[in-house]
Chains A and B, each alone.
Chain A
Amino acid sequence: MAKILICDDEQEILDITKLILEDSGHHVLAVTDSLMVENLIEKEMPDMLLIDLWMPNLSGDQVIKEVRKNPNITHLPVIVISASKDVKEIAYASGADGFLEKPYDIDALLDIVEKHLMH
């Protein structure tokens, strides 16, 4: 049982990811606005962040960089879920711990979440 924060500007993605994780017993917070992510983490102290990369206002890699700079939340496991595998390197460079390409398999999502929650 973990508290997981998801951020994606596409509502469809948020909905299905939330459903899958909840089906596995996790508590899920979901936002479409990347500007809210840092505050939410500080307030809710989730166990993990799943985040998209290409988003309006603030891109996923910038959010991750902010998180890594913030000493209160710097150790939070972050997994990037993106529609393009070409941005894998950008994700890791910004400080992400894992990367998952859309459209993903449920098993792959749950595996990567479990793996990084254990750390």
Chain B
Amino acid sequence: MDDFLRQLPHVDQTDIRLFAAAVSASSNGVVITDNSQPDEPIIYCNKAFEYLTGYTNKEIIGHNCRFLQDGDRDQEARNLLREAIAKGEHCQVEIRNYKKDGRLIWNELMISPVKDQDGNITNFIGIQNDITRRKEAEKALAAEKSYLEERVLERTQDLQYSEAYLSSIIETIRESLVVLNEHMQVLSVNDHFCRFFKIAQDDIKGKVLFEHNDGRWNLPELKNLLINVLPHNNPFEGFEIESEFPKIGRKLLVLNARQVTLKGKYQNRILLAIEDITERREIEQRKEDFISIASHEMKTPLTSIKGNLQLLQRKAQRNNDTQYSEGFATASKSILRLEKLIYDLLDVSKIQSGKVGFSFTTFNFTHLINEAVEGILATTQTHNIIVTGGSSQIEITADYGRLEQVLLNLLGNAIKYSPDGNSVKVHISILPGYLKVSITDTGVGIHERDHKRIFERFYRADQIAEKFPGVGIGLYVCNEIIKEHKGTLWVESAEGKGSVFSFTIPVNRS
């Protein structure tokens, strides 16, 4: 160091020593180059520089600074440095250097020129810090950032796909869809809506629904329903509108609406689905009409058959002629079955069209049970009916004829489906507010999977349909009748273990 200082002209030795000590003690690496010599060799480096690079003072002095970049020549920072040195300017760069052991270090390097009295550059002073850690952190951060960007891109793409997927569903769906805002303005409609109502998107977008189509949607009941969807989250289903619409004529529409349940941006929106059931309702009506007409038409020939048969039977009896008695009995039974079928079909058709009239009277339930049991006993030679429970005091308000129909049906089934049995049990229990009738047979039973379905219209359990005739409407009718009485009808059974059909009926409070 002293040699170095001694070479410097006209400088106060004491001050110089202080400066030199400061530079030597600095934790930043400091080098000084001599730019008056060829290839600008390093003529000074401090301890920190030695520590930073791993080289000793001897190995450093006399070299051009570039030896620190080793083979990593192709750095933008080097160009900047070269330019600054050429122009004699201050410069700051971040540069990759290599320690003696070959490890990469990132250095922040500042170089400043030193000029003589004539302005010629004599030296450059370089100060450098190890910023490897910061660089690594930055690199990790950048990697994280680019990873996140990728994820965002992926998610965006996913969303785009799922939006495209959903919108393809919405556009394919054979139902008209409308999105409304809280002011009942139409925000969007699907393709089906436009095709069905024969209008363009732009003709309805932004319009208030109730003003559209000359106010055909302006129904107080619908308005009330729609207005209440948002504030109280009250979805509705199955609201029917029948009206004459421009371009498409008279239509029966069924409307469902619900709040879009997503939070945030979309929550004050209503999704309204409109289904055209005009044709379906017509077909249903035609089917019911057909059943009704066909059933009535069957009654005429049946009246003739029944009348003629009974007349022949009467004449035979008068003549004490017994040779055809069995034939008469069989034919009478078949007629009875046919009659019951016709009545059941008519009942189904009436239930479907809501035309069943119930006439409620108050009567003693025991009378009804006795009458039904007598009625069924007249049709069977094979089975006993054993009635237990109940009391003579039970009064109920119900449709006598319809409840008798239920009892006859259940008792008839109990006998029909227990061909090997000889008795059917009827038990009446009195429960709080209700009475319960259970009809137990020892017959073929019903698989558990069919316990609900046997009450459906025209349903017949497989193993039963094979062995017993029937069309599957008796239990459906019974169930509808019991429902109308605010009771329930159900079955407990297992295959081969017999069945228990039970129903409840509310009793009069006394």
Interface residues of A (CB under 8 A from B): 10, 12-13, 15-17, 19-20, 23, 83-84, 86, 102-107
Contacts and interface: CB of A to CB of B under 8 A. Distances in A.
B329 to A, nearest CB: 15
B187 interface: no
Nearest to A110: B314
A86 B357 contact: yes
Contacts of A107: 310
A106 B296 contact: no
Nearest to B401: A85
A103 B305 CA distance: 9
Given A103-B306, A103-B339, A83 B311 contact: no
Contacts of B303: 12-13, 16, 83, 102-104
A36 to B, nearest CB: 21
A15 B299 contact: no
Number of chain B interface residues as a range: 10 to 19
A104 B311 CA distance: 12
Nearest to A22: B311
B302 A103 contact: yes
B300 A12 contact: yes
A1 B307 CA distance: 20
Nearest to A15: B304
Contacts of A83: 296, 299-300, 303
Contact of A13 (B300, B310, B357): B300
A17 B315 CA distance: 15
Nearest to A81: B303
A24 to B, nearest CB: 9
Given A13-B300, A83-B296, A19 B308 contact: yes
Pairs A-B, 6 closest by C-beta atoms: A16-B307, A103-B303, A106-B310, A83-B299, A12-B304, A102-B303
B301 interface: yes
B311 A16 contact: yes
Interface in B273-301: 296, 299-301
Contact of B306 (A15, A19, A86, A105): A105
A103 B298 CA distance: 10
Given A15-B304, A16-B308, A102 B299 contact: yes
B304 A106 contact: no
Given A23-B315, A105-B310, A106-B310, A16 B300 contact: no
A23 B314 CA distance: 10
B301 A106 contact: no
Interface string B164-197: 0000000000000000000000000000000000
Interface of B: 296, 299-308, 310-311, 314-315, 335, 339, 357
A19 B308 CA distance: 8
B300 A102 contact: yes
B296 A84 contact: yes
B312 to A, nearest CB: 10
Most interface-central of B301, B303, B310 (chain A CB within 10 A): B303
A103 B308 contact: no
Contacts of A13: 300, 303-304
A83 to B, nearest CB: 4
7 contacts: A10-B300, A12-B304, A17-B307, A83-B299, A84-B296, A104-B303, A105-B310
Nearest to A14: B304
B300 A19 contact: no
Nearest to B302: A103
B336 to A, nearest CB: 10
Nearest to A17: B307
Contacts of A86: 357
Contacts of A103: 299, 302-303, 305-307, 335, 339
Contacts of A15: 304
A112 to B, nearest CB: 14
A15 B306 CA distance: 13
Given A102-B303, A103-B339, A19 B311 contact: yes
Contacts of B302: 102-103
B320 to A, nearest CB: 17
A84 B347 CA distance: 12
A24 B308 CA distance: 14
A102 B304 CA distance: 10
A10 B339 CA distance: 19
A4 to B, nearest CB: 15
A106 B311 contact: yes
A19 B307 CA distance: 9
Contact of A20 (B301, B311, B357): B311
A23 B303 CA distance: 17
